[in-house]
């Protein structure tokens, strides 16, 4: 018998993406950097002087000058500070914003005064104030933290978001008030959905049990953002779109964090969201949280989700049934031995072994004679070793 070559299990990519997204949402973009005044290349001064001179040339197209700002900003060294500071007073808001953002490198305290001046300048436009706040957050000078916190009350959502992000995820963050500020981000519908999702997941990671009511409100009351299941062989573009939607699925991240903080009071809501027909990612995170709780009342939901069109949800439902150890579901699990998804079949085998019902042995022995996938065969060997003849 010729072994069948396994195809790409797209749903595993989806589940892996979900994990990667979760990790990415939790990682602060702060790390060790080289000294701000350390030159990146020797003998670079003449080149920098020429670039700085071009930056001040008002006759150049704005797009070209913005490109120069980016080049200088990527340098992240004292040699580029002066021309960027000078451009903070440019007549173009786009140039002021770009220069403010370019000055945001760790330890660049010499730029703090000028950035604060832009932040507090009467009549300054929101994009410039937001860029100044972003830069101040990266620089991390505690002397401006009060000013940044004040901006977190701003009526403009872009300014508010930049301020809140700087005092939670950037260098101006303080453990003393991070949790209440994260809660504010999570419930502020004026902010970017990805920023809110990041805050929601952080509340879960920080085990903020006091956020249970907030997370339940988000799960129940946030606007629905449909996430339909892709086709059997999604393209790279489709997978990228899924990732984009995942990072912005506030309800799904709320469901996940309710599990992380072990808010058992949310079980009824999670049972409902685990069967949401319009959002397979929400179903997945809700099931994952229900598995954490191992709630008896959720057993019927787990059984129904064995028929979920998303293979990842079927795997998680089987994991939940393993944990429940209720032999009344053996027949339902046996049906998954013929599932079209390899990983569902493998988990079904493991679940049958966990349930320990000797009725499962004959079907498992029969499957061993026909199964072509190595992962399932390994699961069969382990399961049959556990089940009594």
Domains and CATH numbers, the chain: 54-174 (1.25.10.10)
- Average pLDDT of the segment spanning 362-375: 96
- Average pLDDT of the segment spanning 1-6: 39
In angstroms, rounded to a whole number, what is the distance separating the alpha carbons of residues 227 and 246?
8
- Quick one: how many helices (H) and strands (E) in the chain? 22, 0
- Average pLDDT of the segment spanning 371-376: 96
Residue 89: CB partners within 8 Å, gap ≥ 6? 96
- Average pLDDT of the segment spanning 34-54: 61
Share of the chain above pLDDT 90, in %: 78
User: What was the pLDDT predicted at 347?
Assistant: 98
Nearest-10 crossing angle of helices 280-293, 10-26: 70
Please provide the average confidence, as pLDDT, over all residues in the chain: 90
pTM value is 0.87
- Average pLDDT of the segment spanning 217-244: 89
Write out pLDDT tens, residues 23-36. Answer: 556 554 433 344 44
> Is pLDDT above 90 for 18?
no
In angstroms, rounded to a whole number, what is the distance separating the alpha carbons of residues 234 and 209?
38
Write out pLDDT tens, residues 290-343. Answer: 999 999 999 999 999 999 999 999 999 999 999 999 999 999 999 999 999 999
> Is pLDDT above 90 for 47?
no
> Is pLDDT above 80 for 46?
no
User: What was the pLDDT predicted at 28?
Assistant: 45
Residue 279 gets which letter from DSSP? B
User: What was the pLDDT predicted at 125?
Assistant: 98
User: What was the pLDDT predicted at 36?
Assistant: 41
- pLDDT band at residue 43 using 50, 70 and 90 as cut-offs: low
- Would you give the end-to-end CA distance of the chain in angstroms? 27
Write out pLDDT tens, residues 125-184. Answer: 999 999 999 999 999 999 999 999 999 999 999 999 999 999 999 999 999 999 999 999
In angstroms, rounded to a whole number, what is the distance separating the alpha carbons of residues 92 and 146?
28
Higher local confidence (pLDDT), 12 or 93:
93
Residue 57 gets which letter from DSSP? -
> Is pLDDT above 80 for 386?
yes
Burial code (b: 16+ CB inside 10 Å, e: under 16) for 303-337 equals bebbebebbbbbbbbbbbbbbbeeeebbebbbebb
User: What was the pLDDT predicted at 13?
Assistant: 57
> Is pLDDT above 80 for 117?
yes
In angstroms, rounded to a whole number, what is the distance separating the alpha carbons of residues 264 and 207?
13
> Is pLDDT above 70 for 110?
yes
Torsion angles phi and psi, residue 232, rounded to 5: -65, -25
Residue 307 gets which letter from DSSP? G
């Amino acid at each position: 018998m010729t072994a069948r070559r396994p195809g790409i299990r797209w749903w595993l990519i989806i589940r892996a993406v979900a994990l990667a997204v979760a990790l990415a949402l939790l990682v602060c973009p702060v790390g060790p950097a080289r000294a701000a005044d350390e030159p990146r290349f020797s003998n670079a001064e003449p080149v920098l002087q020429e670039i700085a001179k071009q930056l001040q040339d008002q006759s150049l197209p704005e797009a070209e000058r913005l490109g120069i700002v980016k080049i200088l900003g990527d340098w992240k060294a004292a040699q580029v500070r002066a021309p960027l500071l000078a451009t903070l007073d440019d007549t173009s808001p786009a140039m002021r914003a770009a220069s403010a953002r370019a000055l945001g490198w760790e330890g660049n305290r010499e730029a703090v005064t000028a950035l604060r001046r832009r932040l507090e300048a009467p009549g300054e436009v929101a994009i410039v104030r937001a860029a100044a706040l972003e830069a101040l957050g990266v620089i991390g000078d505690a002397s401006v933290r009060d000013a940044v916190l004040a901006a977190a009350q701003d009526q403009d959502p872009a300014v508010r978001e930049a301020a809140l992000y700087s005092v939670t995820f950037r260098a101006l963050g303080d453990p003393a008030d991070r949790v209440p500020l994260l809660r504010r981000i999570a419930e502020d519908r004026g902010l970017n959905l990805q920023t809110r999702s990041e805050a929601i997941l952080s509340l879960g990671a920080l085990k903020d049990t006091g956020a249970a009511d907030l997370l339940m409100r988000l799960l129940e009351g946030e606007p629905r953002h449909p996430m339909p299941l892709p086709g059997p062989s999604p393209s790279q573009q489709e997978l990228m779109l899924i990732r984009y939607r995942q990072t912005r699925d506030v309800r799904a991240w709320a469901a996940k964090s309710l599990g992380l903080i072990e808010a058992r009071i949310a079980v009824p809501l999670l049972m409902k969201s685990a069967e949401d027909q319009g959002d397979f990612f929400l179903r997945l995170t809700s099931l994952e949280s229900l598995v954490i709780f191992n709630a008896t009342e959720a057993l019927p939901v787990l059984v129904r989700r064995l028929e979920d069109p998303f293979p990842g949800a079927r795997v998680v439902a089987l994991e939940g049934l393993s944990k429940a150890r209720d032999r009344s579901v053996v027949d339902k699990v046996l049906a998954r031995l013929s599932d079209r998804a390899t990983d569902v079949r493998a988990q079904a085998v493991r679940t049958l072994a966990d349930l320990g019902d000797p009725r499962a042995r004959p079907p498992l022995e029969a499957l061993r004679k026909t199964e072509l996938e190595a992962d399932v065969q390994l699961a069969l060997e382990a399961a049959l070793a556990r089940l009594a003849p």
